[in-house]
Amino acid sequence: MFNNPWFLLGLVAVAIPIIVHLFNFRRYRKVYFSNTRYLQQLESETRKQSELRRRVILALRIAAIVMLVLAFAQPVIRHKKQAPKLGQSLVCVYIDNSFSMENTGRDGSLLDRAKAKAAEAVAAYKPDDRFMLLTNECTGSQFRWLGRGEFLSAVEEVQICNKTLSLNDAAQRLNDFLQHSGTGNRDVYLISDFQQTAFNAESFATDSTVATTLVPIAGNSENNLYIDTVTLDAPVCQKGAAITAKVRICNAGDAAIEKAPLRLFVNGKQRGVATSDVAAGSNADVDMHFIADADGIMHCRVETNDYPVSFDDKYYFCINVQPRIKLLTINGHGTNPCLERLFADDSAILLRNADLTKIDFNQFDDNDAVILNEADAIASGLAQTLTTRVREGATLVLIPSGNIDISSYNALLQSMNAPTIGSYSNKTARAGNANLKSPLYRNVFDGEVRDMEMPTVNGHYTIAAPANSVREEIITLDNGDALLIATPYGKGMLYLWATPLREEYTDFVRQALLVPTLFNMALYSKPLGDVAYNIGTRQPLPVKLPGDKDEQPPRLAAVDTDLSIIPGIHRGGGETLLDVPLLPTAGNYELLMDDQPFQGLAFNYGREESQMRFYNRSDIQHMIDDYNLSSCSVVANSEKPLDEYIRSRNNGTTLWKWCLAAALLFLAAETVILVLGRPRNPSKSDTRSRKNDSE
């Protein structure tokens, strides 16, 4: 098949050497001999040799002309199903500029190679074709057609981006864009390192009208050391508390790493160092200790050293040092001596007492935990207020009296989907088990606890658990009844005791287990919350605006840069939620109100890009075959220029260069034969002969 078949008319030029051969327009000249020795030289070239040489020269001339004509006709070899693309082409190119493209290859960074491949791709098309460039930013301004010059300028401006866009999403967006872009040849090129977390062939978007070409860019290595998470050992943090930050460091490479360094910074000052050995493809947890020696916000980060992929070498987290927990005890029969001894003089908890008959409902919103101590009955107004506070995040501890109105208690319990109270039993029973794995006893016991003294009760209420109730049995009796249960409701927690906490009902008030049980109920009522978030999280973040300024929008400001934005705020379910847009950089941030910080936040890049596992060309080809992605193809060799591959695929394998080379080869062969077959100059021989004769 030929691209320019009309040039085949030039084959009539083959007649020229044939005519010359037949008529042999050679002119003869006379040579005068003084000696007959020259006749022997002429006779050495026989008639057969002369005729063979003339025919070879004729064949070479004909072949040279044929090859030259074929070179202009541009012969191509096409697949049986391959047809040349005519008309205008609509070309979409996706460049993966995620963090994994920071890796290096033989010719520099993978991103630079990807940009070079994009330029090669458009070079294979006509200048009047239309081009579109998509990157991980995926902004609305990218979905427009560009000229070749504009496209190349846009490619040069591509930089590493903190947003991750999977190849599946990129292909889907490009296919949707092409469906609304008119008619023409539709081509899509996806240039990426084909990280396994970003490519799923099973759900890959394909379109029979779009030719999708996958261009894998391979790096030198797949090693990466990164900090995955940081968690704290306690859910609360107050001034003077000892804090342990558990740092998880991961090795995504194939070689073990010894003495990986870790450094801890708090409010810009280094507060700890550590090292860790991390096996290949594994992780290690490292404890780093420091003291919360100040009020307010503690901006922290942990960092290590790794190259060339460095976006995940730092992990930012933030600790909002909490003020004293506000605990309100509502007493039905006077203050409880046990509660007074435990909370009255504690530096972490501020205890306030109120009489059941003289409740100020305005106090409820200002308390983190409420203990309803020995109320005989619960009024409907009080029950509704308590339910609302628990749903909004407060902790409620119900300690019954010895003679309660069961129906009023159960009305409150049913409103929170909690187990209900049954009849009172006067039988003495001993506690047989305490669930020490409950979050209530976090960091209380070190290792396995044996032969722990358990409380005895002289009487208790039975607790029934309906099918739709949610509960955790913290302490149970030998007869199977529950002594203490926990029920989550909304954002808060309900704790229900089966007996009054007085010495006449139980000896639990004199045992050591009571202290962490009650103390942690109050302490955990105001949890620390998440210490860090991922950039790009779509989940709104709960915040509590200070004072009476709920109507004013806060400002989110970076600690180490000049970045400052006003995030979206919306309210619902009794809480204020913060919509954080996509931030440009990871780091520590503060929420400001009237330029005064009231809450710290930390944002990190997602760790999806940290897993340095990639698909190679063979893997991709197998997936194309396995999932029948008929409109997709993968370049045979990404090291070769992409424009050559595209031209060969679109137009077939062109042979004009080989034809031109063959024509030159035939002409050279003709020249060699003519030069080697030329006879010696007879005039010189004649001169020498004449000289000999004269002698």
pLDDT tens-digit series, residues 294-330: 888 999 999 999 887 889 999 999 999 888 889 999 9
Strand 283-291 to 395-400 pairing: unpaired
Cα(410)–Cα(416) distance, rounded to whole angstroms? 10
pLDDT category of residue 646 using cuts at 50, 70 and 90? confident
The phi, psi pair for 465, rounded to 5°, reads -115, 100
Q: What CATH code is assigned to 226-322?
A: 2.60.40.10
Q: Which of 333, 332, 352, 354 is nearest to 343 (CA)?
A: 352
Cα(402)–Cα(375) distance, rounded to whole angstroms? 9
Burial class from Cβ neighbours inside 10 Å (0-12, 13-18, 19+) for residue 217 reads buried
Which DSSP letter does residue 480 get? S
What would the mean pLDDT of 684-692 be, rounded to a whole number? Answer: 45
Share of the chain above pLDDT 90, in %: 43
Q: Say whether pLDDT at 591 is over 90.
A: yes
Which residues, 6+ apart, have CB-to-CB distance to 429 below 8 Å? 456, 457, 460, 477, 478, 479, 481
Q: Which CATH superfamily is domain 325-523 in?
A: Class I glutamine amidotransferase (GATase) domain (3.40.50.880)
Q: Answer whether 154's CB lies under 8 Å from 180's CB.
A: no
Determine the pLDDT at residue 691.
45
pLDDT category of residue 688 using cuts at 50, 70 and 90? very low
pLDDT category of residue 40 using cuts at 50, 70 and 90? low
Q: Answer whether 524's CB lies under 8 Å from 494's CB.
A: no
pLDDT tens-digit series, residues 624-635: 999 999 889 999
Which residues, 6+ apart, have CB-to-CB distance to 142 below 8 Å? 132, 133, 134, 135
Angle, vertex CA 326, rays to CA 235 and CA 232, nearest 5: 10
Specify the range with the lowest mean pLDDT, choosing from 158-172, 414-428, 535-549, 604-618: 535-549
What would the mean pLDDT of 683-692 be, rounded to a whole number? Answer: 46
Cα(164)–Cα(141) distance, rounded to whole angstroms? 18
Q: Say whether pLDDT at 687 is over 50.
A: no
Specify the range with the lowest mean pLDDT, choosing from 34-43, 478-487, 670-679: 34-43
User: CATH top-level class for 89-221+613-653?
Assistant: alpha beta
What would the mean pLDDT of 572-585 be, rounded to a whole number? Answer: 80
pLDDT category of residue 214 using cuts at 50, 70 and 90? very high
Cα(201)–Cα(210) distance, rounded to whole angstroms? 16
Mean pLDDT of the chain: 85
Cα(391)–Cα(384) distance, rounded to whole angstroms? 11
State how far the alpha carbon of 39 is from the alpha carbons of 31, 35, 42, 50, 194, in Å. Answer: 11, 9, 5, 16, 80
Q: Answer whether 143's CB lies under 8 Å from 132's CB.
A: yes
What would the mean pLDDT of 250-268 be, rounded to a whole number? Answer: 92
Determine the pLDDT at residue 544.
78
Cα(646)–Cα(666) distance, rounded to whole angstroms? 31
Cα(34)–Cα(347) distance, rounded to whole angstroms? 137
Half-sphere exposure of 525 (CA within 13 A, CB side): 31
Most confident by average pLDDT, 66-70, 359-363, 397-401: 397-401
pLDDT tens-digit series, residues 133-158: 999 999 999 999 999 999 999 999 99
Cα(530)–Cα(528) distance, rounded to whole angstroms? 7
Amino acid, single-letter form, for residue 444: V
Determine the pLDDT at residue 220.
72
Q: Which residues of 426-463 are buried (b: 16+ CB within 10 A; e: fewer)?
A: eeebebeebeeebebbeeeeeeeeeeeebbebebbbeb
Cα(288)–Cα(421) distance, rounded to whole angstroms? 46
Determine the pLDDT at residue 234.
76
Q: Say whether pLDDT at 692 is over 60.
A: no
Cα(193)–Cα(463) distance, rounded to whole angstroms? 60
Cα(456)–Cα(473) distance, rounded to whole angstroms? 17
Helices (H) then strands (E): counts for the chain: 14, 35
Q: Say whether pLDDT at 26 is over 80.
A: no
Cα(248)–Cα(11) distance, rounded to whole angstroms? 76
Q: Say whether pLDDT at 45 is over 60.
A: no
Total residue length of the chain: 695
Angle, vertex CA 369, rays to CA 364 and CA 372, nearest 5: 80
What would the mean pLDDT of 242-248 be, rounded to a whole number? Answer: 93
Rg of the chain over Cα atoms, rounded to whole angstroms, equals 43
pLDDT category of residue 3 using cuts at 50, 70 and 90? low
Determine the pLDDT at residue 190.
96
Sole residue written with tokens 């309906």: 466
Specify the range with the lowest mean pLDDT, choosing from 448-452, 592-596, 664-668: 448-452
Q: Which of 2, 86, 134, 187 is nearest to 635 (CA)?
A: 187
pLDDT tens-digit series, residues 97-146: 999 898 887 778 899 999 999 999 999 999 899 999 999 999 999 999 99
pLDDT category of residue 505 using cuts at 50, 70 and 90? very high
Q: Say whether pLDDT at 38 is over 60.
A: no
